[in-house]
């Protein structure tokens, strides 16, 4: 028996699935390329932004130390300035290492989207600025406390000029970072457009293949089956003299020949065929019901999975509790959102590890972003303050708004062991003032930061 029709159908399905597979592979490759490109670009921008943020902060501190030395001639300020210069040089070395790492990238999809020369130019300008202030400070330190008034005035003017140039560099770096963020968005848009073009092309090919398959089906299958259907309807009406013409030499032709043979013996088998049809209809109804139930179950599982994912993402956002060093031995932890038992333990672990890591003497806990403060939150704050105090550091609680202050009083929370401030700015100012004034030598239990 010639299986021509089977081979035609098989070839059609093979082409169909090959096209689908090609589309899936193309989309997957583009998706991986998008993720690799964007992740690397974001990683480079973020790492560079962090490095230069530290550099700018320490540079402003260096200018402040030099101004103080010029005004008072205290060698303590000179020592602080020298240490800051060393830190700034190390920061520039980190930036140079980052740029060296980027130079090893050979993928044009990454390199062509960055104005890497602009990054290196900003690095060179910062290095030149540091060298200028290093040279001038060396002259000033050599003079010691006997700096002439005219030289002091010149030095102050020079520091003001350097500060202005540093501000300009910060603005240029921010503008360049914004341009690169825009470039990341352009990259995403371009790659997504390529994916859409691939999908549209594959869709057109699939439609063409389906059109060819439909034509073949119409010619080789549908028309002969329609003829068989007409004859079958006649047989159903009791006309058992029906005969169909054999049109093909494949399965359809075999079916036509078998139909002719079947009609001859159909009269004696009519009752058995009716019973078989009834049983088949029942099985089809049961199968349809089972498929309907399976589809409903799949939809419910998909909805539940989306809800779980959304809840997990919301929880992860609320669990963000960073510990940020803002000055030497001064760290800040801003708290945002609700605080449950799991997050409370995370906050405590982060604070204790941060105190040890940064050798902090002052820990600022900012609760500006905490909407409500109840007994559980107050307990977390007190436990954190006690643990920090055991490590030899002082706790400052900032961001206390009037409603939260009233809540703490109403709850009867003893806040005497914690220095409290209404705003983060006031807490930072107090911590920095205490560090420079040397108030950390006192016992935190005996006196708060001044």
Q: How far apart (Å, rounded) are the C-alpha atoms in residues 126 and 80?
A: 20
The pTM (predicted TM-score) of the whole model is 0.37
* Confidence at residue 317, expressed as pLDDT on a 0 to 100 scale: 47
* Confidence at residue 40, expressed as pLDDT on a 0 to 100 scale: 63
Q: Which residue has the tokens 């001064």?
A: 330
* Confidence at residue 363, expressed as pLDDT on a 0 to 100 scale: 93
Q: Which residue has the tokens 């007994």?
A: 375
How far is residue 147 from each of residues 143, 150, 158, measured CA to CA in Å?
6, 8, 15
Q: How far apart (Å, rounded) are the C-alpha atoms in residues 311 and 201?
A: 38
Give 23's contacts (C-beta < 8 A, 6+ positions apart).
198, 199, 202, 206
CA torsion angle for 307, 311, 312, 313 (degrees, to 10)? 100
Q: Which two tokens stand for residue 287?
A: 């199968």
**Strand 419-420 relative to strand 394-398, pairing:** parallel
CA geometry: angle at 58 spanning 74 and 180, to 5°? 160
324-441 CATH pick, 2.40.50.100, 3.40.50.720, 1.20.1260.10, 3.30.750.24: 3.30.750.24
The 10s digit of each residue's pLDDT in 31-79 is 666 666 666 666 677 777 788 788 888 888 888 887 777 777 777 877 8
The 10s digit of each residue's pLDDT in 201-232 is 777 877 887 787 777 777 767 777 777 777 77
* Confidence at residue 148, expressed as pLDDT on a 0 to 100 scale: 67
**Sheet of 330-336, strand order:** 324-327, 330-336, 362-369, 394-398, 419-420
Q: How far apart (Å, rounded) are the C-alpha atoms in residues 112 and 186?
A: 13
* Confidence at residue 141, expressed as pLDDT on a 0 to 100 scale: 72
State residue 337 phi and psi, 5-degree precision. Answer: 90, -165
* Confidence at residue 240, expressed as pLDDT on a 0 to 100 scale: 64
CA geometry: angle at 169 spanning 165 and 174, to 5°? 150
* Confidence at residue 448, expressed as pLDDT on a 0 to 100 scale: 42
* Confidence at residue 20, expressed as pLDDT on a 0 to 100 scale: 77
Q: Which two tokens stand for residue 399?
A: 């961001």
Burial 346-375 (b: 16+ CB within 10 A, else e): ebbebbbebbeebebbbbbbbbeebeebee
* Confidence at residue 79, expressed as pLDDT on a 0 to 100 scale: 83
Tens-of-pLDDT digits for all 450 residues of the chain?
445 666 666 776 677 677 677 777 776 766 666 666 666 666 677 777 788 788 888 888 888 887 777 777 777 877 888 888 888 888 888 878 877 776 666 566 555 666 666 777 777 888 888 888 887 777 777 766 666 667 667 777 877 888 888 888 778 777 777 776 777 677 667 767 777 777 787 778 778 877 877 777 777 677 777 777 777 777 777 776 667 777 777 667 777 677 677 777 766 766 666 777 788 888 888 888 888 888 888 888 888 888 876 666 555 544 557 889 988 899 999 988 777 777 888 888 998 999 999 999 999 999 888 877 788 788 888 888 889 999 989 999 999 888 888 888 887 877 777 888 989 899 999 888 887 876 654 433 333 444
């Amino acid at each position: 028996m010639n299986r021509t029709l089977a081979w035609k159908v098989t070839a059609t399905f093979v082409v169909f699935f090959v096209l689908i597979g090609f589309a899936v592979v193309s989309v997957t490759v583009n998706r991986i390329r998008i993720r690799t490109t964007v992740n690397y670009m974001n990683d480079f921008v973020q790492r560079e932004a962090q490095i230069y943020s530290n550099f700018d902060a320490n540079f402003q501190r260096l200018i402040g130390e030099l101004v103080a030395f010029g005004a008072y001639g205290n060698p303590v300020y000179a020592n602080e300035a020298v240490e800051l210069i060393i830190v700034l040089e190390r920061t520039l070395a980190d930036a140079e290492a980052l740029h060296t790492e980027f130079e090893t990238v050979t993928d044009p999809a990454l390199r062509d989207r960055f104005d890497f020369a602009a990054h290196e130019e900003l690095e060179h300008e910062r290095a030149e600025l540091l060298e200028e202030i290093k040279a001038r400070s060396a002259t000033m330190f050599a003079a010691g406390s006997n700096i002439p008034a005219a030289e002091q005035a010149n030095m102050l003017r020079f520091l003001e000029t350097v500060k202005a140039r540093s501000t300009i560099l910060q603005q240029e770096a921010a503008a360049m970072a914004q341009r690169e963020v825009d470039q990341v968005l352009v990259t995403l848009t371009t790659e997504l457009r390529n994916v859409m073009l691939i999908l549209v092309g594959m869709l057109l090919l699939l439609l063409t293949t389906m059109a060819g398959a439909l034509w073949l089906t119409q010619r080789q299958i549908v028309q002969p089956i329609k003829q068989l259907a007409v004859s079958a309807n006649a047989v159903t009406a009791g006309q058992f003299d029906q005969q169909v013409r054999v049109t093909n030499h494949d399965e359809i032709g075999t079916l036509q020949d078998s139909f002719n043979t079947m009609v001859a013996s159909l009269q004696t088998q009519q009752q058995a065929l009716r019973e078989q049809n009834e049983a088949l209809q029942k099985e089809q109804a049961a199968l349809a019901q089972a498929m309907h139930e399976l589809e409903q179950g799949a939809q419910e599982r998909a909805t539940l999975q989306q809800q779980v994912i959304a809840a997990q993402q919301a929880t992860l956002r609320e669990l963000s509790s960073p510990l940020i060093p803002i000055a030497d031995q001064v760290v800040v932890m801003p708290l945002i959102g609700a605080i449950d038992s799991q997050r409370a333990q995370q906050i405590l672990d982060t604070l204790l590890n941060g105190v040890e890591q940064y050798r902090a003497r002052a820990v600022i806990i900012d609760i500006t972003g905490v909407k409500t403060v109840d007994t559980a939150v107050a307990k977390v704050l007190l436990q954190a303050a006690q643990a920090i105090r055991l490590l030899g550091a002082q706790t400052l609680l900032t961001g206390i708004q009037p409603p939260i202050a009233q809540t703490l009083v109403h709850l009867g929370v003893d806040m005497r062991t914690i220095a409290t401030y209404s705003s983060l700015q006031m807490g930072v100012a107090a911590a920095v003032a205490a560090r420079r004034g040397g108030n950390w030598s006192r016992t935190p239990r005996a006196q708060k930061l001044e």
